[in-house]
Amino acid sequence: MQKIIVAGAGMGGMVAAEKLAKLGFDVTVYEKAASVDEMRYDWHDDVNPSIFRRLGLKMPEGSFKKKSWTFVSPHGAVVREFRQDENNADYSVERRPLNRMLYERAAAAGAKFVFGATVQRAVIGKGAVTGVVADGKEHEAALVVDSLGVDSPVRKDLPVEFGVSQYRENEIFVAYRAFYEKVADAPAPKYTNKVYLKHMGEPGISWVIQDNDPSLVNVLVGRVGSLSTYDLERALNDLRKTNPTIGEKVVRGGEMCVIPVRYPATRMIARGYAAVGDSAFMTIPMLGSGIASGMLAGNLLAETVGENMSRGVKPEDMFSKSKLWKYQVKCYREFGAVHCAVDVLKRGVLGFPDDMLDWMLGSEVLTNDEIGCLAAGKVLRVGFKEAIRKINVTEYSRMRTLIKVNNLLQKSLMAYRLARNIPRNYDSSICATWERQMKRYYKK
Ligand SMILES: Cc1cc2nc3c(=O)[nH]c(=O)nc-3n(C[C@H](O)[C@H](O)[C@H](O)COP(=O)(O)OP(=O)(O)OC[C@H]3O[C@@H](n4cnc5c(N)ncnc54)[C@H](O)[C@@H]3O)c2cc1C
């Protein structure tokens, strides 16, 4: 049977490893961590439970339901609470048990895992990816599934003519995440899930969460592009002023991480290559979702390969560009187009002046449902009646602001439509035109 390499045991990679092994492929996963229990990240993150239902997985041990979010405007003037819909609330999921569950399923399906192996680069031959170099040794494969995360050395190493997307400087989010010991005798917080939008007027967010573990405070400081030690210290000092429960000792985490903050790759495949998860920028950072979309992408990739097998595609064509393009189309149809729309909104909101955000959070212009929609990373559509209500509750002096918000919503819907228009079948010139349109749109 044909060999498949999964480079990096990211979550999408492990889902793909399980499903591809079940299809009968000879799958090997190369992961740099020494063991499954030492993989990043030692904490919990928010995921909508629907992905577990869809993939037939149980919720990992230690998961708990989220209740509310409180958004704080740039200089702390306005606070707005949003309660989650009880029936469709996100869960915070412990990453280590999740990794272990995905690993055990893939291993039981026959995928081999090589831990402590660092993937260094791709092996290229005749316009295709034909394997990887890990720890100085070349490993051949008919398909390389790139699950190495945002800074994948394999993706970065691909020849420019393959056209696989890379990111620009302002398309990453650099975040410090730490769980601090809680100061026991500090007064209990009024709001337990605070998200500071454009914290201190900087492009990015911070959060202080203390809704589950009675002894820990979950703190994040993240900025688009870069986060200097000076800015991090300033932000932490500021958070401590209004959150006296944040202690000094870091109990979990305490590391700097990078998350892509851009629309998904407009080219995530090449002959013999498919990127899943962060290596194809499948996140909506600041709103969660990278875990679910990475896992879904791993599933969609295996589903595409399975469909090609049942259509009788010859093994030598199984991982051609045109066959793998179907995987990219599925990703864009299932979640990529929504990510594109939300990416436009997120960038627009971060570019708003601070006082405009104060106004938006403080006035009745945004309904609670709309805030929920934005928090969950969904496309926001405003009907005629709601538009009239917004005009009615907006004082005359703020009309220009309302128009700006409306323009941003229209731009976001356009991004959604453009992304949904991804060509169904691979044709090099039609696909290149779509990619050019996408890139042009996001340059604005
Ligand atoms: C602070 C923070 C908060 C987040 N919050 C959320 C949230 O609430 N909800 C959500 O859905 N998402 C969240 N995310 C995003 C989420 O972590 C990612 O989208 C998710 O991990 C999917 O990424 P991945 O599996 O593709 O890559 P990664 O998680 O980066 O995994 C890549 C894997 O490849 C391995 N690897 C890397 N380089 C090499 C190499 N050279 N050789 C071999 N192995 C290698 C790594 O060890 C790792 O196991 C958050 C991320 C951060 C940093």
CATH for 170-260 is: 3.30.70
* Band of residue 121 on the pLDDT scale cut at 50, 70, 90: very high
Residue 398: predicted pLDDT: 75
Residue 2 in contact with residue 142, Cβ under 8 Å? yes
The residue whose CA is least distant from atom 30 of ligand 1 is 149
Q: Which atom of ligand 1 is nearest to the CA of 278?
A: 26
Residue carrying structure tokens 């890379």: 166
Q: Which atom of ligand 1 is nearest to the CA of 291?
A: 11
Convert the pLDDT of each residue in 123-140 to its tens digit. 999 899 999 999 999 999
Q: pTM for this structure?
A: 0.93
- 263-296 residue pLDDT tens: 999 999 999 999 999 999 998 755 668 999 999 9
182 contacts 215 by C-beta, under 8 angstroms: yes
What is the per-residue pLDDT across 80-93, written as a single tens digit (0 to 9) for each?
877 777 777 788 99
Q: Where are the domains of the chain?
A: 3-63+93-165+264-335+424-443, 170-260, 345-418
Please classify residue 312 by burial: count the beta carbons closer than 10 Å to its beta carbon, then call 0-12 exposed, 13-18 middle and 19+ buried.
exposed
The amino acid at 346: K
Ligand 1 centre distance from Cα of residue 380 (Å): 27
Work out the widest C-alpha separation in the chain, in whole angstroms: 69
| Confidence grade of residue 141 (pLDDT, cut at 50, 70, 90) | very high
Pick the CATH number of 3-63+93-165+264-335+424-443 from 3.60.15.10, 3.30.230.70, 3.50.50.60, 3.90.1300.10: 3.50.50.60
Residue 119 CB less than 6 A away from ligand 1 = yes
Q: How confident is the model at residue 373 (pLDDT cuts 50, 70, 90)?
A: low
pLDDT of 104 reads 98
Give yes or no for residue 260 CB within 6 A of ligand 1: no
- Between 343 and 320, name the one with better pLDDT: 320
| Residue, of 55 and 374, whose pLDDT is higher | 55
d(CA 427, CA 425): 6
pLDDT per position as a tens digit, 213-226: 889 999 999 999 99
Query: Cα 35 to the chain's mean position, in Å?
Result: 24
Distance 253 CA to ligand 1 centre (A): 14
Ligand 1 nearest atom to the CA of residue 46, by list position: 8
Q: What is the mean pLDDT of residues 47-61?
A: 93
Say how far apart CA 232 and CA 63 lie, in whole Å: 29
Look at residues 24, 33, 180, 216 and name the one whose alpha carbon lies nearest to residue 110.
Answer: 24
Mean pLDDT across 402-421? 88
Whether 110 has a pLDDT exceeding 60, the answer reads yes
31 C-alpha to ligand 1 centroid (Å): 12
Pocket probe mutation, ligand 1, options 14, 31, 155, 156, max atoms within 8 Å of Cβ: 31
* Cβ burial, residue 143 (10 Å; 0-12/13-18/19+): buried
Residue nearest to atom 28 of ligand 1 (CA): 149
